[in-house]
Amino acid sequence: MGGEVDWNVPINNSEQMYIAIKRLGQKTQLVVYPDEHHGIRRPSFQKDRFERWIRWYDQYLKPAAEISELND
> Is the predicted pLDDT of residue 67 greater than 80, yes or no?
no
Facing residues of 32 across strands?
Answer: 2
Classify residue 24 by its DSSP letter. Answer: T
Q: Report pLDDT for 69.
A: 64
Q: Which residues contact 2 (CB under 8 A, 6 or more apart)?
A: 9, 11, 14, 31, 32, 33
Can you give the pTM of this predicted structure? 0.78
Q: How many domains does the chain have?
A: 1
pLDDT tens, position by position, 23-63: 999 999 999 999 999 999 999 999 999 999 999 999 989 87
CA distance 32 to 39: 13
Range of 67's domain?
2-71
